[in-house]
């Protein structure tokens, strides 16, 4: 770990991915500062500290980030909710994280999401530079986070890795996730490379294992030295036929998030922009 001489701040430590990272990174000897709005639902890992803070509290964020060389920003709302619910933690909170990173000259790992591009149809194969196409307010907050990261790289030289996370799960649970799955081991190895790479600039990585059914291809994985070792392919037979009866869910990469407050009576045009 190239940044091991400075503490690592992990927000959202009580969440599903936060728990995974807290346990696995602590076992690797990382000097972790854990935080969440919720109490920590597991014993504090060796060598780690924990403090409950609200990401909307800029002073608290800056205080906790003091001296950190890496910020793993996994805090905030992680499901599709109202704009007001997403606004504080995801938009204002991410701004506070990037201001803290600017002050501390820290690198940021920002968990973007498939939901930042969730309104692309499943037949589309996307590269890292595709236009963002969020499928709801949660996805919109992730698109905002990506643009925030770009702003802070261009204006302040704050480095970021933007991981467009598919599905961080122990195993595949349905046919769609054959395309979006990333194993726990691949994900932890990706976080390790985010820290160890000599430079990352502002890089986009598709957060998926080596799945033959993937919706995604070119990204910056070679730049940071990461290559997934696992694949969903050997789980395909077990989940064959596990789909929903909803045509909207089954049409789009974002899956079930797309149908939340979906009011069209048809489908949006596949192309982002018309040729007219």
pLDDT of residue 1: 47
In this structure, the number of other CB atoms found within 10 A of the CB of residue 265 comes to 5
Rg for the chain, CA atoms, rounded: 18
**pTM given for the model:** 0.96
117 close to 142: Cβ distance less than 8 angstroms: no
Is the CB of residue 231 less than 8 Å from the CB of residue 210?
yes
**At the fourth CATH level, which superfamily is domain 8-259?**
NAD(P)-binding Rossmann-like Domain (3.40.50.720)
Contacts of 196 (CB under 8 A, 6+ apart): 1, 2, 225
Mark whether 138 is an active-site residue: yes
DSSP code of 135?
S
Closest CA to 90 of 175, 185, 11: 11
**Rounded distance between C-alpha atoms, residue 238 and residue 71, angstroms:** 37
Among 138, 144, 152, 252, the active-site one is 138
Contact 218, 128 (CB under 8 A): yes
pLDDT at position 88: 94
The β-bridge partners of 202 are 160
∠216-238-167 over CA atoms, to 5°? 35
Q: What is the pLDDT along the chain (276 residues), one digit of tens a residue?
A: 455 579 999 999 999 999 999 999 999 999 999 999 999 999 999 999 999 999 999 999 999 999 999 999 999 999 999 999 999 999 999 999 999 999 999 999 999 999 999 999 999 999 999 999 999 999 999 999 999 999 999 999 999 999 999 999 999 999 999 999 999 999 999 999 999 999 999 999 999 999 999 999 999 999 999 999 999 999 999 999 999 999 999 999 999 999 999 999 999 999 877 655
Give residue 5's pLDDT: 77
Q: Are 128 and 219 in contact (CB under 8 A)?
A: yes
Sign, Cα dihedral of 263, 267, 269, 271: positive
């Amino acid at each position: 770990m190239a940044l091991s001489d400075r503490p690592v701040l992990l927000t959202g430590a009580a969440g599903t991915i936060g728990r995974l990272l807290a346990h696995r990174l602590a076992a690797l000897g990382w000097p972790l500062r854990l935080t969440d709005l919720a109490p920590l639902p597991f014993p504090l890992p060796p060598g780690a500290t924990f403090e409950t803070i609200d990401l909307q509290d800029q002073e608290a964020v800056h205080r906790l980030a003091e001296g950190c060389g890496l910020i793993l920003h996994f805090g905030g709302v992680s499901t599709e909710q109202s704009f007001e619910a997403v606004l504080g933690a995801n938009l204002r909170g991410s701004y506070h994280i990037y201001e803290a990173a600017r002050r501390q000259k820290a690198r940021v790992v920002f968990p973007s999401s498939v939901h930042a591009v969730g309104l692309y149809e499943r037949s589309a194969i996307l590269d890292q530079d595709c236009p963002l196409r969020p499928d709801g307010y949660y996805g919109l907050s992730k698109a905002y986070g990506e643009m925030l990261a770009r702003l802070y790289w261009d204006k302040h030289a704050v480095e970021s890795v933007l991981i467009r996370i598919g599905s961080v799960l122990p195993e595949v649970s349905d046919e769609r996730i054959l395309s979006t799955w990333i194993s726990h081991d691949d994900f932890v190895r990706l976080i390790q490379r985010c820290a160890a790479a000599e430079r990352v600039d502002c890089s986009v990585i598709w957060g998926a294992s080596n799945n033959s059914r993937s919706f995604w291809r070119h990204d910056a994985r070679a730049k940071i030295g990461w290559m997934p070792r696992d694949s969903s392919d050997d789980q395909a037979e077990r989940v064959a036929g596990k789909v929903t009866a909803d045509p909207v869910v089954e049409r789009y990469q974002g899956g079930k998030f797309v149908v939340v407050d979906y009011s069209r009576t048809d489908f949006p045009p596949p192309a982002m922009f018309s040729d007219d």
